[in-house]
Structure 1
Amino acid sequence: MTSHSLASPRKRVSTNGKKAEAPTDDGRAAPRYAAIKQSIADAARGGQLKPGDRVPSESELVDQFGVSRMTANRALRELQASGIIVRRAGVGSFIAEPRPIGQMIEIRNIADEIRGRGHEYRARVVRNSEERATAETAPLLGVPVGTRLFHSLIIHHEAEFPIQLEERFVLASVAPDYARIDFTQMTPNEYLTRIAPLERVEHRVSAVMPDARTHAMLGLADSEPVLRMTRRTWSRGRLVSHAWLTHPGTRFELSAAFSVDD
């Protein structure tokens, strides 16, 4: 994938011969980092840069715009904070896709959500194993210590970007084949919905700073927060699943819509 060159913001020359900043609409000089931001944002809005396109690196911006590395870095950081670009450590910066919206009320399969947006879905299974409930995990499902559980950890990708880290504990007696399912072909949500029809769902959402493991698995930028949904599901009168669904805060939002009866 190639990066795109951007037109350098126009410069004016002061009477003493030194380069001045690009003028704003009111005639004042705009900071150079703001001019770079505007150039990239305009290219994204105008379609010259499309979602997924690589934008110039810090070094390339330094060469194209004749600015310091610090100025180029600030422009990229602020573009990321605005949701215009996403940055992947060791890979580069890219024009962001329109921010995906997850449904809080409907229990939808994340693979279907991603494909419904016209994007490729894939999953990487980090863990899917049987274990015994400990003093820490037993309360998650309201079971005695020593109860058989399944513990899965899966990274869901939208196009090339990790969009959700799913960590789930499941009551083994309700889903005895859970550890043998290929969750690159079927999501845990899809499997559990088939064998343990939902009766009740509980959601809780919070914005938190990620730990080192989450930071690495989701490819987060430094100091990037996450949206973490805690989801508990019941079937046939039993609490059967406890999951943490963690999303990059700058790449995802949650919404809910419902009708209210008179």
Structure 2
Amino acid sequence: MRCRSTLEQHVKQPEATQRRPVFQVIKDHLLAQIQAGQWKEGEAVPSEQALAAQFGVARMTVNRAVRELTAEQVLFRIQGSGTYVAPQKVQSTLVAIRNIAEEVAARGHRHRSQVHLLAREAATELIAAQFGLKRKQSLFHSVIVHFENDLPIQVEDRWVNPALAPAYLKQDFSVTTPNAYLVAVAPLQGVNYSIEALPPPPPVAQMLSMAPHESCLVLKRRTWSKTLVASVVTMWHPGSRYQFAGSF
């Protein structure tokens, strides 16, 4: 019996073409469209129902593709609204206190703000202690939501010393920012801060359009000017859209 040659023994049979799962095809399509600029950061992508019709598949197949892209932070969902292209995580430096409007502009994006509260209020015991004041002493209080390309990225809850910023309540914080005003009237002398991950209170979660059970990165900061505490601020940032970075 004739033996097969070495060449004959090692001839490879054609490999079967492996087909990608349909959900992966849809996922790749969405990624390609985002990378091509078809949908920009903060813009809505087609609904699951529309994508299911486009690809001729069950909605649950589309749902898996969207869920995976959401887990990978390529997309994010707002309940009752839709699915949107997630921005790259915003970076904020801790080396210098910067105006958030300037940070957003430096990234080539558009900043706007929405004032939810601007009033004179009696300080709580905790807030008063941070200013070195007696409980219920009058302070200025503001709550402002900052947006980047119409996507909410920060809730700024700030208490201000009227002795250092007497015209605080007269400012239009839809045009300027508390940081810009305070730097002008109460030059920075000192600062301390802390950062922690916390679940947001319901009003904060609503203002930031956050998904259920998502945590915030919370920056708490106290500043001094002319030997007095000028401002005590708590800034809430969606953990999926924000990160702090810096170097020394």
- Residue type of the partner of 1:132? A
The DSSP-based 3-state class of the residue aligned with 1:137 is helix
CA distance in 2: counterparts of 1:72 and 1:225, whole angstroms: 27
Say whether 1:141 aligns with 2:128: no
- Are the equivalent residues in 2 in contact too, given 1:128–1:153 (CA < 8 A)? yes
**Amino acid paired to 2:199:** M
The offset of 1:234, in angstroms, is: 1.1
Q: Distance in 1 between matches of 2:218 and 2:57?
A: 38
8 Å Cα contact 2:199/2:213 also seen in 1: yes
Task: Within 5 Å, give how 1:30-179 maps onto structure 2.
Answer: 32-179=22-169
Q: Deviations over 1:7-59 (max 9, x none)?
A: xxxxxxxxxxxxxxxxxxx9777654444323312332344544344322121
2:207 aligned with 1:229, yes or no? no
By how many angstroms is 1:242 displaced?
0.9
Residue 149 of structure 1 aligns to which amino acid in structure 2? Answer: L
Q: Distance in 2 between matches of 1:183 and 1:36?
A: 43
State the percentage of identical aligned residues.
39
- Say which is worse superposed, 108-117 or 77-86, in terms of deviation: 77-86
Q: Equivalents in 1 of 2:197, 2:36: separation in Å?
A: 32
Q: Note if contact 1:225-1:248 (Cα within 8 Å) is conserved in structure 2.
A: yes
Higher-Rg member (1/2): 2
What is the one-letter code of the residue matched to 1:56?
Answer: P
TM-score normalized by the length of structure 1? 0.80
Rounded Cα–Cα distance in structure 2 between residues aligned with 1:85 and 1:140: 39
Q: Deviations over 1:49-101 (max 9, x none)?
A: 44344322121122223444344333323312322123333432222333321
Matched, 1:217 2:217: no
The Cα shift of 1:226 comes to 1.6
1:169 CA drift (Å): 0.8
What is the alpha-carbon distance in structure 2 between the residues aligned to residue 67 and residue 201 of structure 1? 56
CA-to-aligned-CA distance 1:179-215 (integer Å, 9 cap, x gap): 1211112101111111111111112111222221111
Distance 2:96 2:214 in 1: 27
For residues 224 and 135 of structure 1, what CA distance do their matches in structure 2 show? 29
Q: Distance in 2 between matches of 1:160 and 1:256?
A: 26
Contact 1:111 1:187 in 2 (8 A): yes
For 1:23, the equivalent position in structure 2 comes to none
My pick for the range that moved more, 161-170 or 66-75, is 66-75
Matches of 1:139 and 1:56 in 2, distance apart? Answer: 51
CA contact (8 A) 2:146 2:152 kept: yes
Distance in 1 (alpha carbons) for counterparts of 2:42 and 2:125? 44
Q: TM-score, normalised by structure 2?
A: 0.84
Higher relative contact order (CA 8 A, sep 6+): 2
Question: SS of 1:122's equivalent?
Answer: strand
Q: In structure 1, what residue type is equivalent to 2:143?
A: L
Q: Considering only aligned residues, what root-mean-square deviation do their CA atoms show, in Å?
A: 2.2
* Amino acid in structure 1 at the alignment position of 2:196: S
Instruction: Kindly tell me the number of residue pairs found equivalent between the two proteins.
Output: 233
Aligned to 2:3: none
Counterpart of 1:219 in structure 2: which amino acid? S
CA shift in 2, pair 1:34/1:229, >3 Å: farther
Aligned pairs (5 A) from 1:234-249: 234-249=224-239
- Which 10-residue stretch deviates more, 30-39 or 114-123? 30-39
Contact 1:208–1:227 (Cα < 8 Å) also in 2:
yes
